Structure 1
Amino acid sequence: MALVASACGWGPDYSRVTTVATTSPTQGAASHGGGSALSGSRGLPPSDPLSVSGDIVVAGSSTVFPLAEAMAARFEDEGYSGLITVDSIGSGAGFERFCLAGESDVSNASRPIKDQEVEQCRAIGRDPIEFRVGTDALAVTVSPGNTFATDLTVAELAVLFSTATTWRDVRAGFPANPIQRFIPGTDSGTFDYFVEEVFHEDEGPILAAGNTQFSEDDNVLVQGISGDGCDPSNAATTCSVGFFGYAYYTENGDLLRVLDVEGVEPTTDSVSANTYPLARPLYMYSTASIIAEKPQVGAFLNFVLQFVNEEVGEVGYFPAPDSVLDSAAAELNAAL
């Protein structure tokens, strides 16, 4: 009988760890095929989770975490006999673990790896390979009690997440309720992306903003926004705002309301058409040397690239273009 254990403890860095293990390589669940070799696609060889064992260590982005967790669970369902650990610590901390400590096999990220991080990787003999696995629509959210904000411009977002102390500072027609901000921590690729798109890579204004709570744990942000008690008719009540990956909005849609940006709602159509201003790629990174030393890592990435589009929507994200997934598959093929 397969055992799936999920431990979601929050320490000082608000990390979350999911461990997926099997007690027998022949007892995987049959929901996705029951542990037999799966036909290859995207030019990749057939994926056979039963053929590999050993440990796989995945760490990084909290945004990519739900997708990586789902793929790890499905890999186990198909009969993988090893142990997969998926750790949610933020993109920056993930690259530190991957490039400085050399402790992880796959680094999840909601932003591209930086030149400095590439050099740090190469200094320990690791040459990163980038695999795009999906697309996120960064969700700017408020609580249902906030009935007045429905659509903001990027310029208004810059005011909202920096100098504004009340909502009226953002737009003259808004009420004067105080603003409380809930923002991903500075190790987060989500933070980096928002700063790049809204503040033109200048993090100074958002770091200097008052009434702001930072956290690497998106669930802390959700709880802070949803529990604000916002009442537009009572200017003494706080009306909170925050942002995070779209999956955390869909998971908590009854507690939150998502805002349009520049008149565009985050949907599959707007993300596919590249019209939603805050759509961004999601990545996994590994290296040819890791894949050579640990065939189970290559098998897992092979599995991800072939079947990720069957899971990405289920966790609340959007597919990467087929051409991009094909390019990622070619990169993996060269490393296998």
Structure 2
Amino acid sequence: MTDNTSEKSVSGVSRRAFIITTGVTGATGFAGCLESEEDSSGNGNGNGNGGNGNGNGNGNGASASLSGEINIAGSSTVFPLMSAVAEEFQKEHEVVRIDVSSTGSGGGFSNHFCPGNTHFNNASRPIKPEEEELCADNGVEYVELIAATDALTVVINNDNDFATEMTVDELAQIWEADAAETWTEVNSEWPDEPIERYGADETSGTYDYFVENVTGEDRGHTDDYQATEQDNTIVQGVQGSEFAIGYFGFAYYYQNPDQVTAVAIDDGDGPVEPNLETAASGEYTPLSRSLFTYPSMDALAEEHVAEFARYFVDQTDNEQLVAEEVGYVPATDETKEAQMQTLEDAISEAQG
């Protein structure tokens, strides 16, 4: 079963229209790998340049006259983060119009980015060889940038008190191509009730990541589920049935912590709950993953796009925005610096 409402977008709209913000207890007490010198206002990295020392960053006089359009498609998982950053950027550059669409990582690459119709593609997994080939065929060059770290989250109904912990193999039995039809087929202590599934569409990078790291290519992915790029649809579906299960990016659970229950995953060392700390430490395996965005080189030749790309990378270690507001693990200082250098090299090449 497939949900045909696979695309959503936001353009110049407050992120609070699609992000349900919630408080985080102890959010500032992250492990050292989450520490940042980020100014909580989002205006740079603490040294006032906000643009990696190039004098072009984050609302200074040189960039006040920026104008133009920026079109971004791709991952529903990256969508809330990219949209939040876009809203902050537009506060400083009101005549820059940014449209962010949620099409799935694969749908974004195949239908929008590689054909040359968008400036960025968001992805919850690295670009695939066939997508690289499609981009090359259309003369689209790009640079890969790390956006954040996610804890892909499996959720069940709040009334489900039997499957709050699962091994990776139990999870695979539920989601593989030849999937179990009832809960008791997976674990004899679980009820003899049909499993109702909600998950990512096959155009999604989350789908690809789940297959690669949970079921494996040889076991595939069941077709007996409600497939959608609308993560809130998954939340609603799981809410509606005691015997439902779903999976999506952690930000969507973070935004709905009382509506559904997150499953602790046992990868051999005992069950681990998905949260910012376990994702940052690498303890939450195998479902911790990097998130990406891919700006095209042609787009980076335009100053308003290049400036937005700088701003985006500059915000990746912003704990307030990335962690507390959206629900992902911010970049470390080292990762941000490396990504900024990668970006600056690409901008120099594009504008040279």
Q: TM-score, normalised by structure 2?
A: 0.81
Partners of 2:198 and 2:204 in 1: CA distance:
13
Q: Deviations over 1:91-115 (max 9, x none)?
A: 0011123444211001000010011
Partners of 2:142 and 2:247 in 1: CA distance:
29
How many Å apart are 1:287 and its aligned residue?
A: 2.4
Q: Classify 1:32/1:60 alpha carbon distance in 2 versus 1 (closer, same or farther; 3 Å).
A: same
Contact persistence 2:197–2:245 (CA under 8 A)? yes
Question: Which residue is 1:252 aligned to?
Answer: 256
1:57 aligned to which of 61, 67, 71: 71
Question: Which residue is 1:214 aligned to?
Answer: 227
1:88 aligned to which of 102, 107, 110: 102
Unmatched runs of 5 consecutive residues or more in structure 2 = 15-40, 348-352
Tell whether 2:184 aligns with 1:168: yes
Q: Deviations over 1:277-305 (max 9, x none)?
A: 1001110101222211x211111110011
Residues 1-336 of structure 1 aligned to structure 2 (within 5 Å): 12-20=4-12, 39-40=49-50, 42=52, 45-49=55-59, 50-162=64-176, 163-202=179-218, 204=220, 206-208=221-223, 210=224, 212-228=225-241, 230=242, 239-262=243-266, 263-277=271-285, 278-292=287-301, 294-310=302-318, 311-313=321-323, 314-336=325-347
Letter in 1 for 2:295: S
Partners of 1:296 and 1:156 in 2: CA distance:
48
How many Å apart are 1:320 and its aligned residue?
A: 2.8
Contact persistence 1:71–1:308 (CA under 8 A)? no
Q: Classify 1:227/1:291 alpha carbon distance in 2 versus 1 (closer, same or farther; 3 Å).
A: same
Partners of 2:102 and 2:171 in 1: CA distance:
27
Q: Deviations over 1:124-157 (max 9, x none)?
A: 2222210001011000000101111111111110
Letter in 2 for 1:327: A
Q: Classify 1:103/1:213 alpha carbon distance in 2 versus 1 (closer, same or farther; 3 Å).
A: same
Question: Which residue is 2:37 aligned to?
Answer: none
How many Å apart are 1:42 and its aligned residue?
A: 4.6
State the identity %.
Answer: 37
Q: Classify 1:19/1:112 alpha carbon distance in 2 versus 1 (closer, same or farther; 3 Å).
A: same
3-state SS of 2:290 partner: strand
Bigger shift: residues 261-270 or 64-73:
261-270
How many Å apart are 1:174 and its aligned residue?
A: 1.4
Contact persistence 2:72–2:121 (CA under 8 A)? yes
Contact persistence 2:145–2:294 (CA under 8 A)? yes
Contact persistence 1:132–1:282 (CA under 8 A)? yes
- CA RMSD after TM alignment: 2.1
Structure possessing the higher relative contact order (Cα contacts under 8 Å, 6 or more residues apart): 2
3-state SS of 1:328 partner: helix
3-state SS of 2:326 partner: coil
Partners of 1:265 and 1:51 in 2: CA distance:
46
Q: Deviations over 1:168-195 (max 9, x none)?
A: 1111221222210101100000000000
Partners of 1:72 and 1:203 in 2: CA distance:
39
Contact persistence 1:98–1:121 (CA under 8 A)? no
Partners of 1:218 and 1:21 in 2: CA distance:
19
Contact persistence 1:98–1:105 (CA under 8 A)? no
3-state SS of 1:40 partner: coil
Q: TM-score, normalised by structure 1?
A: 0.84
Unmatched runs of 5 consecutive residues or more in structure 1 = 1-10, 23-30, 231-238
How many Å apart are 1:44 and its aligned residue?
A: 5.3
Contact persistence 1:226–1:255 (CA under 8 A)? yes
Bigger shift: residues 151-160 or 188-197:
151-160
Q: Classify 1:144/1:131 alpha carbon distance in 2 versus 1 (closer, same or farther; 3 Å).
A: same
Partners of 1:169 and 1:42 in 2: CA distance:
55
Partners of 1:12 and 1:51 in 2: CA distance:
40
